[in-house]
A and B are shown apart, each in its own frame.
Chain A
């Protein structure tokens, strides 16, 4: 048993690329779902549009990196307006239907053969991250017995956690302001908010854009961290993991998404490292499980764990049980 390997990959995942990407995506989703009550089931599309906006600008059209970032952000705002303007005047569930469909449309467009000249089709795009790594100030990697990161990884993690900190600061500032009060009130009952003279539609659009932009930061980090993008990354299960993380951490809590993401990825990595090595040393006989099945079993175990958590702690890690129980009325 390689306990040191199991522990080091688990520890690395605690602050690793996936944790950052999902934390940023979930911070955005938390603005939608947790604070505003918008059922956005297409958060993956916001990350996808940001990543593709950047990659197409840089790789396909040979434009500068920063212009790519701007194009990505612009694309996210446009997507939010496209989704929001027709649906936000309607009941909440319409947004859910439209966003889940839109996310699939976006993914299928990215991988369509017709557009492959620009998007690279199902292979995606590469070679757009050189300018980003050129800015890397780290010259030596970290190599300890517990964790090790290359200089490239260190640079991605640094930028990623700075972005997480900025996103958290923005959410924290907004949600303690009168703006955040209107947003939370809309979650509770938008007609009441309307009757008090607030333009509910405008606030919902603002929240949709804000959550989309914060989530899209995760899309940039993801693309740059892997130095490649692929359309099928941005499927619906991407969004469902984000929801899991938001609820796990505690909806409408500033730090919920970050802690949720850390726990989710730590558990998943730990189990996915533990099971194969248990099988290889014979602790689990191959009649029960082979190494090929270990990955799927890992997800099953994490799923069971999350179910138990939500049964016994429905408010998530940071939530207030009293508050969640009010919802039942």
Chain B
């Protein structure tokens, strides 16, 4: 699936071209932002989990949000999608302010998320999981639900669309099974397919590849790229740097709740600030005191950083051999 991206992927080419002239710095202005975030702060007691000054997400591109564990990526996701409320700050989706908007209304406006821990609705069938995603269903009103004639036709249309998506995600054989009987990877696929039932403009994927076996990973990657070709904007959190490199047009790096770097995948992975954030500022034992602001913030929390060394992606991924494997496929 990923092999023919260059030829059949006009959206990728467009996204790459649009982002070519964007300055490589935190909070860089994008030519056509779908989401603009300003000064969003979330504190848990004395801990400032998220403190994002300014971030813009380019429309029609795949943007990766990376950073060590505890960098505030998921909290940032929760804030943007209305699942958590920030202490201060504002953000706009398609030019409309989103702060204080309830989670379900955020979804209705076209920004739909998935979860790090997959939330399949276990005791519902796969097809019912899908049908649930459709918006504006007449039969979801209490009184109209009592009269099947009012919603049967719409239900057929919804089911048809659900079946098409299931076929695209190769889950059609599981149509009548309980979602709880699917494997972990299949649930990830189901969750993504279900999110598409909402007809979103922007899809927010929280660690879409976590716990998915390598064979299914390729298929998931293909689907994420497919979203961009369908005109959707994708923002995703991921730890696996090979995947970030493979599919993202732009990478935003968070550390200690702040955005510390932005750029294309290769540039970001070579960035000293990013390496510092993952491995601790003094990993080479010789960081100069007047380095850069990120090194200062990384300093006090140095004990936390080694835990973040686990997804040792940025340095490992930055070396040449691994990407070659994927180009070959």
B145 and A180 contacting across the interface, CB-CB below 8 Å: yes
Choose among A182, A185, A195, A206 the residue with the greatest number of B CB atoms under 10 Å from its CB: A195
The verdict on A181 contacting B142 (CB below 8 Å), with A195-B113, A323-B178, A329-B122 known, is no
B132 and A179 contacting across the interface, CB-CB below 8 Å: no
B124 and A181 contacting across the interface, CB-CB below 8 Å: yes
Partner of A178, one of B102, B115, B122, B155: B155
Q: Report chain A residues within 8 Å CB of B131.
A: 178, 181
Partner of B123, one of A179, A180, A193, A323: A323
A192, CB-defined interface residue at 8 Å = yes
Closest to B138 in A: A178
A192 and B121 contacting across the interface, CB-CB below 8 Å: yes
Range, interface on chain B: 35 or more
B114, CB-defined interface residue at 8 Å = yes
Q: Which of A295-329 contact B (CB under 8 A)?
A: 322-323, 326-327, 329
The verdict on A326 contacting B180 (CB below 8 Å), with A178-B155, A191-B83, A199-B104 known, is yes
The docked-state distance in angstroms from the alpha carbon of A117 to that of B113 is 57
Partner of A191, one of B115, B128, B138, B181: B115
Q: Report chain A residues within 8 Å CB of B151.
A: 177-178
The docked-state distance in angstroms from the alpha carbon of A173 to that of B139 is 11
B140 and A182 contacting across the interface, CB-CB below 8 Å: yes
B145 and A192 contacting across the interface, CB-CB below 8 Å: no
Choose among A170, A176, A177 the residue with the greatest number of B CB atoms under 10 Å from its CB: A177
B83 and A182 contacting across the interface, CB-CB below 8 Å: no
Closest to B135 in A: A197
Choose among B107, B128, B142, B151 the residue with the greatest number of A CB atoms under 10 Å from its CB: B142
The docked-state distance in angstroms from the alpha carbon of A187 to that of B138 is 21
B71, CB-defined interface residue at 8 Å = no
Q: Report chain B residues within 8 Å CB of A184.
A: 121, 123-124, 128
A1, CB-defined interface residue at 8 Å = no
B197, CB-defined interface residue at 8 Å = yes
Closest to B139 in A: A178
The minimal Cβ–Cβ distance linking B105 to chain A, given in whole angstroms, is 8
Q: Report chain A residues within 8 Å CB of B197.
A: 196
A197 and B198 contacting across the interface, CB-CB below 8 Å: yes
A182 and B123 contacting across the interface, CB-CB below 8 Å: no
A198 and B104 contacting across the interface, CB-CB below 8 Å: yes
The docked-state distance in angstroms from the alpha carbon of A195 to that of B135 is 11
The verdict on A179 contacting B139 (CB below 8 Å), with A174-B146, A196-B133 known, is yes
Q: Report chain A residues within 8 Å CB of B178.
A: 322-323, 326
- The 0/1 profile, CB within 8 Å of B marked 1, for residues 186-228 of chain A is 0111011111111110000010001000000000000000000
The verdict on A196 contacting B145 (CB below 8 Å), with A181-B124, A185-B124, A327-B123 known, is no
Closest to B107 in A: A197
Q: Report chain B residues within 8 Å CB of A210.
A: 142
B181 and A326 contacting across the interface, CB-CB below 8 Å: yes
A188 and B104 contacting across the interface, CB-CB below 8 Å: no
The docked-state distance in angstroms from the alpha carbon of A185 to that of B133 is 11
Q: Report chain A residues within 8 Å CB of B83.
A: 191, 194-195
A194 and B103 contacting across the interface, CB-CB below 8 Å: yes
The docked-state distance in angstroms from the alpha carbon of A200 to that of B103 is 10
B132 and A196 contacting across the interface, CB-CB below 8 Å: yes
The verdict on A179 contacting B122 (CB below 8 Å), with A173-B148, A192-B115, A194-B103 known, is no
Q: Which of B108-127 contact A (CB under 8 A)?
A: 108, 112-115, 119-124
Closest to A194 in B: B103
Q: Report chain A residues within 8 Å CB of B129.
A: 185
B55, CB-defined interface residue at 8 Å = no
The docked-state distance in angstroms from the alpha carbon of A184 to that of B181 is 17
B63, CB-defined interface residue at 8 Å = no
What are 7 A-B pairs at a CB distance below 8 A?
A: A174-B146, A177-B148, A181-B140, A188-B122, A191-B83, A195-B81, A195-B104
Interchain residue pairs A-B with the least CB separation, the first 3: A179-B145, A178-B139, A326-B180
